[in-house]
Amino acid sequence: MSAHATDLHRDAVIWDTHGGFSPFADLDLSFLERWLASGVTYLSVNVGYDHVITWQDTVRAIAHFRRWIALHPRSFALAATTDDIALAKRDCKLAIAFDLEGTDALDGNIEMIALYYRLGVRQMLLAYNRTNRFAGGCHDEDMGLTPLGREAIAEMNRIGMVVDCSHTSHRSTMEMMERSSAPVVFSHSNPRALCDHGRNIRDDQIKACAATGGVIGINGVGAFLGDNDISARRMVEHIDYVAQLVGPDHVGLGLDYLPDVEEVPKLFARYPHAWPGYTAADMMANRFAPPELLPEITDLLVARGYSDSDVRGILGENFLRVARQVWQ
Ligand SMILES: [Zn+2]
């Protein structure tokens, strides 16, 4: 790693828009030290996803995670505002907020959005893989938003929760981006032009996201990067594709990393309907790029000729810009 890239990585705000581990209410979060050691400033921790985690499980997980963070103040801090993230950077801590994948956690009530915001949830996607009462899922019929989905977007805009389009059907995402009055993100979605997978997104989605002022977070999931290649080089190819298409101000990182590789195959065996079209063998073989890969990504971006300000944008300032505009 070049000395210049090392300095840039150390000084940058590094933003990981989505962690891939499940929100179990007895989880020891000590593994989050790995994000801190890799230079990460902010991580969005998942607190629920459709079909597997009930709204009661989500509330239990939030209670547990908030308490765990409060009991480990030397390394971690809950981020309610972007000022909290600046303080965490200054104090060499990992700032944490929460996200929801899907709307099972709302139990059909948009009133829950403001409550979750108060509890630390800063982004939410409407449908996780399968179609639900709000929107179409990316592995289900390509339908648009339902009336409830449209209400949810308006309420998220009102409250200051970031609208996230990952995992949701093409038509629903296009409607979400058209309707939202605030920038919209894909927290962890890769370009389909480089890997033709149902979880990946098309160029028109990438362009529509950028047009809202939003950001696409590139994930480190082998199946979505292609050929199960989780190298920094492959991730930078995906970053570069989005940067070439819509500019470097609209691309970031959402690794989707989980430390326990056995978690997904176990959950798949129990809740196969959450991941239609996947096989147990795929789930067993799937690899995930760890946060330790991040310095090499910085190094490769510098080597590719990205300017310092572009590299800082991709590593975190682009998503920070969205948070400054949307969070209240
Ligand atoms: Zn996901």
328 residues of the chain, pLDDT tens digit each: 999 999 999 999 999 999 999 999 999 999 999 999 999 999 999 999 999 999 999 999 999 999 999 999 999 999 999 999 999 999 999 999 999 999 999 999 999 999 999 999 999 999 999 999 999 999 999 999 999 999 999 999 999 999 999 999 999 999 999 999 999 999 999 999 999 999 999 999 999 999 999 999 999 999 999 999 999 999 999 999 999 999 999 999 999 999 998 999 999 999 999 999 999 999 999 999 999 999 999 999 999 999 999 999 999 999 999 999 999 9
pLDDT at position 12 is 98
**21, β-bridge pairs:** none
52, 99, 235, 296 alpha-carbon torsion, rounded to 10° = -120
**In angstroms, what is the span from residue 305 Cα to ligand 1's centroid?**
31
pLDDT at position 261 is 86
**In angstroms, what is the span from residue 168 Cα to ligand 1's centroid?**
10
**In angstroms, what is the span from residue 188 Cα to ligand 1's centroid?**
7
**In angstroms, what is the span from residue 322 Cα to ligand 1's centroid?**
20
User: CA–CA distance from 271 to each of 239, 276, 278, 322 (Å)?
Assistant: 32, 10, 12, 34
Alpha helices in 97-190 (DSSP H): 111-119, 147-159, 170-179
**In angstroms, what is the span from residue 263 Cα to ligand 1's centroid?**
14
**In angstroms, what is the span from residue 44 Cα to ligand 1's centroid?**
12
**In angstroms, what is the span from residue 271 Cα to ligand 1's centroid?**
15
**In angstroms, what is the span from residue 36 Cα to ligand 1's centroid?**
21
**In angstroms, what is the span from residue 3 Cα to ligand 1's centroid?**
34
Sign of CA dihedral 4, 313, 260, 289: negative
Q: Report the amino acid identity of residue 291.
A: P
Cβ count within 10 A of residue 275: 20
Cβ count within 10 A of residue 119: 17
Integer Cα distance of 58 and 41 in angstroms = 24
Please name which of 277, 225, 314, 239 lies closest in space to residue 5, comparing C-alpha atoms: 314
